[in-house]
């Protein structure tokens, strides 16, 4: 009987620890480094895009200071657009699409649900504020891809579709997700979110 009680107690403790695991427990070392270099990626992307025609729009999205946001304030439907800086082109500002943040019991989950390029993944509360997104990109018509974490192909630091970013509220009814050093195309991406 005592062994059964100890086993149940141990299982409860392990289950609680897993439910409260931080993003660092699930992120690959490569992605932890990308997030640590967010400000560097943003500065480099802005520098590479400096001559582009969309700098007013880009600064309007990137300049507002981050505000604290509760899970309840973030949950729901959003209009969203992706902005890519540096890399293959100086800058690209896409049209508006639809995104959603939902509570799936184990925490918040982000999805870009329209447009040809999609991204989805789990949001983890970040000690420094905001939420860390560990997700993956996919193309319309494909099954939703999942973050590979430490499961990237042997010898690879990431899969081409891994997406890691920082979500912050930027005012009433607005937020952004910043993606440092995406695996493909650009130096820095941001998804602007509006209610």
Q: What's the pLDDT at 148?
A: 85
Q: Say whether 144 sits in a helix, a strand or coil.
A: coil
Q: Say whether 18 sits in a helix, a strand or coil.
A: helix
Q: What does the domain layout of the chain look like in residue ranges?
A: 26-194
**Nearest in space to 140 (alpha carbons), one of 119, 155, 121:** 119
Q: Is residue 158 within 8 Å of 28, Cβ to Cβ?
A: yes
Neighbours of 24 (CB within 10 A): 14
CATH topology of domain 26-194: Lipocalin (2.40.128)
* Mean pLDDT per 10-residue interval, the chain, length 195 residues: 39 40 87 95 92 85 90 95 92 96 92 95 92 94 86 63 94 94 92 97
Each residue's pLDDT tens digit, 108-156: 999 999 999 999 999 999 988 899 999 999 999 898 888 987 665 555 6
Q: What is the DSSP string of 50-116?
A: TTSTTHHHHHHHHSSPPB---HHHH-EEEEEEEEEESTTSSEEEPPPEEEEEEE-SSSEEEEE-SSS
Neighbours of 9 (CB within 10 A): 10
Q: What's the pLDDT at 149?
A: 79
Q: What's the pLDDT at 160?
A: 80
**Nearest in space to 147 (alpha carbons), one of 132, 128, 164:** 164
Q: What's the pLDDT at 155?
A: 54
| The length of the chain, given as a count of residues | 195
Q: Is residue 189 within 8 Å of 179, Cβ to Cβ?
A: yes
Task: Identify the DSSP state of 143.
Answer: P
Q: What's the pLDDT at 21?
A: 62
Q: What's the pLDDT at 44?
A: 95
């Amino acid at each position: 009987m005592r062994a059964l009680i100890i086993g149940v107690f141990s299982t409860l403790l392990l289950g609680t620890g897993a439910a409260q695991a931080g993003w660092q427990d699930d992120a690959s070392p490569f992605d932890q480094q990308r997030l640590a270099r967010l400000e560097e990626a943003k500065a480099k992307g802005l520098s590479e895009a400096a001559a582009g025609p969309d700098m007013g729009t880009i600064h309007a999205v990137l300049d507002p200071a981050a505000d604290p946001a509760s899970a309840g304030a973030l949950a729901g439907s959003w209009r969203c657009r992706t902005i890519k800086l540096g890399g293959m082109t100086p800058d690209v500002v896409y049209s508006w699409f639809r995104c959603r943040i939902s509570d799936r019991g184990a925490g918040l989950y982000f999805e870009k649900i329209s447009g040809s390029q999609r991204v989805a993944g789990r949001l983890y509360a970040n000690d420094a504020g905001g939420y860390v997104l560990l997700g993956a990109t996919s193309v319309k018509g494909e099954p939703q891809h999942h973050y590979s974490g430490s499961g990237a192909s042997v010898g690879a630091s990431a899969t081409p579709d891994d997406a890691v970013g920082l979500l912050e509220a930027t005012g009433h009814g607005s937020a952004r997700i910043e993606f440092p050093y995406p695996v493909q195309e650009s130096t820095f991406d941001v998804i602007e979110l509006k209610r």
